[in-house]
Chain A
Amino acid sequence: MARKNSGKGAGAPQVTTVVVMRLYIAGSAPNSVKAIANLQAICDQHLKNSYRLELIDVCEYPQRALADGVLVTPSLTKVSPGRTANIIGNLSDTGSVMAALGLHTRAAE
């Protein structure tokens, strides 16, 4: 089953809501590897340990991806809080990823 990463590092007092995300990757494809690294960086910088990330390798679990309606990889789904958001790509554009995850407003608080 998918690897589950709980947040690491010390608790960030100003962030109370836990962000739930799923990252769909295709094995060790370059874009997937990049996406993991990019997401890790964003999470480390902005979310500290207040997030839960589910990493799904569609090569291993295609049925799961199909059920979730995920086709291209890498693909990040923000499950909560708020509306579901989908981001495709290797997440190299940090700004748009932050916006999709609703982190800008949070960061501004």
Chain B
Amino acid sequence: MGGPGTGKTVFALQALVNAARDRKQPGIFVAFEEHPEQIFENAATFDWRLPALAKDGIFFLNAQLSPTVVQSGDFDLGGMLAILEAKKLKLGARWIVFDGIDVLLALLPGPGSAMREVYRLRDWLAHNDLTAIITTKIDGGESAAANYGFMQFMVDCVIRFDRRLEQAISVRRLEITKYRGSDFAAGEFPLGFGPTGMVVAAPEAVQDHDDASTERVSTGFAELDSMLGGGLLRGSSTLITGAPGTSKTTLAGKFAEAACQRGERTLYVSFDEGGDRIRRNLKSVGIQLDAHVKSKLLRFYSGRTDQVNPEEHLTRIAVLLREHQPRCIVVDPLSAIAKTGALSSARAVCNRLIYKLRDLNATAVITALVDGDDPQAESTALQISTIADSWIHLSYLVHGGERNRALTIVKSRGTQHSNQVRELMLSATGPALADVYSAGGEVLMGTLRWEKEAEESARRLKRHAEYSKKHRELEFAEAAIAARIAALQLDLERQRAELALYTRDGAARQTSSGERKQELRRLRRVDTASVMTSMPAKRHAGRGSPRARKNGNGGREPRRGA
């Protein structure tokens, strides 16, 4: 049940289509509100090929009552059910849809008759073993629904459709209010319409992959890969936040290019900017995507976010994911989704998109615009940062009259990541990351970094020059001392030689003088005794002069002994 334009008919018809097409179970569609031709036309936007199915899978019964019909008294559905039963037996139908049964019930003279016919219907369905979808209009919520209260008690499952405006964007929702014998998901779930029909944003159970991948996927920057401990994990989602102009798209484009170069199918979802413009702009920083688009490796989806329900985008992206089977995905910028409609539904869409990508084990790079330089701003907007695996923040650092781009890895699950701020530089040959210069606790970038580096290298040169000068000086001093040592050594040797010479000379002189005296004495034929008494030789005799003894005066010796 639901108000006008909430998707009741599409829902019911889609159930029949699925049964007939996928499970080969024929069905019957009883249209109280529209002519089957109209239904065909309306369903032509979906990929159901309804006219073909109508030939053998689905029987359409035009149950519109002519406006000229006059009502007189009570009636019942017995005839219609008899007709349908005959048809069911012929087709072997398993499903039946009563679309807009309220039109018929309203003609019955009272609620009692309506209730009676609904019970008749239920019994007939049970008897014929048919699964039925009955749609009915309700206006204005609960009070009108109360009129069909008995219907809610009768059926096994009640799905309520709702459409409302959230900030000028129409949002359709579905709620299962009752489902006997089923542990159904409570709450309202958003609906979207895509080429395959209605898509319900139902919460899906977390799909555990056999093993979480540890494979690393390159971001396209060797420097960034090394900061991330080798690259992004396969199947992970990475959020790039930044103010306008901080090169979010450049990073995303580089990732896409690297993915294509590896030969991986890639999907580039862009909002509010066409794929051709993005490619042109990326070309200016040396990122070439045209060839990959031509080779059909890369596909672009460009959505306009003004006046489009975020849900619709998700539906279209889901179709592309199925068609293209990408291994790498770029969404740029996801934050654009939040521009229209209610923030809560945009958040829900973002979450589901990320979960979907994760289930596909596709590696995703998602950019998000944040106001200002504070990365925390993101956490209050779309709250993607909490579910993304990695989070790279780009910011401007204004210093010394310059704006320079800085890259920080805020988080990266399962990765030993660098905590260093890097400078992102753009040039025609491609973007590059530079080590930032940090001096005195301050991060320097741009020309300041260049200046500081130049200054530093000049200082290094100077220090080197000083060092070599000092080195040379010391060498010289050492050499000088060594030379002095050598000179002194020579001097010493000279001295020693002199001393030796002097000593030998002196000895020689003494010997010769003694011998000369002896000689003289011998020549003079001096009497030893007279010499002794008359001359100081007397003292010699008394003391026993060694020289006298040594000289061995044979004449004195025997006398002393006697």
Interface residues of A, Cβ cutoff 8 Å to B:
24-27, 29, 31-32, 34-35, 38, 58-59, 62-63, 65-66, 69-75, 85-93, 96-97, 99-100
Q: Is the CB of B77 within 8 A of A72?
A: yes
A-B residue pairs, 9 tightest by C-beta:
A73-B79, A26-B78, A92-B73, A62-B86, A89-B73, A90-B73, A58-B79, A71-B80, A62-B83
Nearest-neighbour CB distance to chain B for A65, whole angstroms, equals 5
Of B58-66, B146-154, B328-336, the stretch lying at the interface with chain A is B58-66
B107 within 8 A of A: yes
Q: Is the CB of A97 within 8 A of B66?
A: no
Q: How far is B86's CA from A32's CA once the two chains are assembled, in angstroms?
A: 20
Q: Is the CB of A63 within 8 A of B86?
A: yes
Q: Is the CB of B74 within 8 A of A31?
A: yes
Using A26-B78, A72-B65, A92-B72 as known contacts, list a sample of 6 further A-B pairs with CB atoms less than 8 Å apart, ordered by residue number in A: A73-B80, A75-B79, A89-B71, A91-B72, A92-B73, A96-B72
Q: How far is B104's CA from A89's CA once the two chains are assembled, in angstroms?
A: 12
The 11 sampled A-B contact pairs (Cβ below 8 Å) are A25-B79, A26-B79, A34-B73, A34-B74, A66-B61, A72-B104, A73-B77, A75-B79, A90-B73, A96-B70, A96-B71
**Given the complex, which residues of B lie within 8 Å of A63, measured CB to CB?**
86
**Given the complex, which residues of B lie within 8 Å of A32, measured CB to CB?**
78
Q: Tell me the nearest residue of chain B to A99, going by C-beta.
A: B70
Q: Tell me the nearest residue of chain A to B76, going by C-beta.
A: A31
Partner of B74, one of A71, A90, A100: A90
Nearest-neighbour CB distance to chain B for A8, whole angstroms, equals 23
B68 within 8 A of A: yes
Q: How far is B82's CA from A84's CA once the two chains are assembled, in angstroms?
A: 24
Q: Is the CB of B87 within 8 A of A73?
A: no
Q: Tell me the nearest residue of chain B to A98, going by C-beta.
A: B72
Q: Is the CB of B83 within 8 A of A100?
A: no
Tell me whether chain B's interface is mostly helix, strand or loop, or mixed.
mixed
Q: Is the CB of B62 within 8 A of A62?
A: no
Q: Is the CB of A89 within 8 A of B74?
A: yes
Q: A72-B75, A73-B80 are in contact. Are A62 and B85 (CB under 8 A)?
A: yes
B interface, size bucket: 20 to 34
Q: How far is B419's CA from A51's CA once the two chains are assembled, in angstroms?
A: 98
Q: Is the CB of B82 within 8 A of A62?
A: yes
**Given the complex, which residues of A lie within 8 Å of B76, measured CB to CB?**
26, 29, 31, 72-73
**Given the complex, which residues of B lie within 8 Å of A87, measured CB to CB?**
69-72
Q: Is the CB of A73 within 8 A of B75?
A: yes
Q: A58-B83, A62-B86, A66-B83 are in contact. Are A73 and B78 (CB under 8 A)?
A: yes
Q: How far is B62's CA from A100's CA once the two chains are assembled, in angstroms?
A: 23
**Given the complex, which residues of B lie within 8 Å of A73, measured CB to CB?**
75-80
Q: Is the CB of A88 within 8 A of B75?
A: yes
Nearest-neighbour CB distance to chain B for A27, whole angstroms, equals 7
Q: Tell me the nearest residue of chain B to A94, going by C-beta.
A: B72
Q: Tell me the nearest residue of chain B to A100, going by C-beta.
A: B70
Most buried by B among A25, A69, A99: A69
Residues of B32-68 whose CB lies within 8 A of A: 61-63, 65-66, 68
Nearest-neighbour CB distance to chain A for B544, whole angstroms, equals 175
**Given the complex, which residues of B lie within 8 Å of A85, measured CB to CB?**
68, 70
Q: How far is B141's CA from A76's CA once the two chains are assembled, in angstroms?
A: 37
Partner of B65, one of A88, A90, A100: A88
Q: How far is B87's CA from A66's CA once the two chains are assembled, in angstroms?
A: 10
**Given the complex, which residues of B lie within 8 Å of A25, measured CB to CB?**
79
Q: How far is B71's CA from A75's CA once the two chains are assembled, in angstroms?
A: 9
**Given the complex, which residues of B lie within 8 Å of A90, measured CB to CB?**
72-75
Most buried by A among B62, B76, B107: B76
Q: How far is B62's CA from A40's CA once the two chains are assembled, in angstroms?
A: 30
